[in-house]
Amino acid sequence: MDARIAVLASGTGTNLQALLDDPHVGHSIVLVVSDKPGAAALERARMRGVKPVVLQPGHYASREGFDQALTALLEEEAIEFVLLAGYMRIVGIATVRAFRDRILNVHPSLLPAFPGAHPVRDVLTWGVRVTGATVHLVDEEVDHGPIVLQEPVLVLPEDDERSLHLRIQEVEHRLFPQAARLLAEGRLKVEGRLVHILEGLD
């Protein structure tokens, strides 16, 4: 697999690490972009010799200006696929349109249940017994695009937000590289909301 992949991350970057460590996906990651100058994800990129770039929304006059700068950066770097690994901003319409069906997001719930910024907390507050991880294509709406892979995680009586999130992230670290590989190998066929996974390709 010989793709050019960018990862966008705002935080710790454990999903970025899982992607970098994946034997099929890792070597295709050529750019890591963060909106937060102190994000640990940037250091993970540096450690692997992957180009780290900080793009701070506060440096742009408008949301659209930031969005254009991000899209231009991705295009300058000849990026083909974009992976949102704990990227805590809404990707703007310009970027979504420029990379239609080529952006993946990982979300710590079984979408469409519990979208939004703190799904693990919301799951515990609601009292559901089963949650999970979702990898989906990104469209114009938040946590909404067609689902690629999903896996359940049981909520245990003794769980707090941290313990449950850690178990969900273990699943994410397996699911996200798998979905990224399928995307980069051209094995996802999107029909409306449905994503078909094409088997048998090398």
Kindly state the smallest distance separating residue 55's Cβ from ligand GRF, in Å: 17
What DSSP line would sit under 84-149, residue for residue?
ESS--SPPPHHHHHHTTT-EEEEESS-TTSS-SS-HHHHHHHHT-SEEEEEEEE--SSTT-SPEEE
DSSP state of 155: P
In the set 27, 107, 173, 196, the catalytic residue is 107
Residue type, 184: A
Q: Does residue number 180 form part of the binding site for ligand GRF (CB under 6 A)?
A: no
Task: Give the pair of three-digit tokens for residue 91.
Answer: 């990707």
Q: Does residue 133 contact residue 171 with C-beta atoms inside 8 Å?
A: yes
Q: Does residue number 131 form part of the binding site for ligand GRF (CB under 6 A)?
A: no
CB atoms near residue 123 (< 10 Å): 26
Site stretch for ligand GRF (CB under 6 A), options 89-97, 106-114, 150-158, 187-195 = 106-114
Q: How far apart are CA 9 and CA 71, in angstroms?
A: 15
Give the nearer residue to ligand GRF in terms of CB position, either 86 or 92. Answer: 86
Q: Does residue number 15 form part of the binding site for ligand GRF (CB under 6 A)?
A: yes
Residues 45-104 that bind ligand GRF (CB under 6 A): 85-86
Give the nearer residue to ligand GRF in terms of CB position, either 84 or 188. Answer: 84
Kindly state the smallest distance separating residue 134's Cβ from ligand GRF, in Å: 8
**Active-site residue, 165 included:** no
Q: Which residues bind ligand GRF (CB under 6 A)?
A: 9, 11-15, 85-86, 106-108, 169, 172
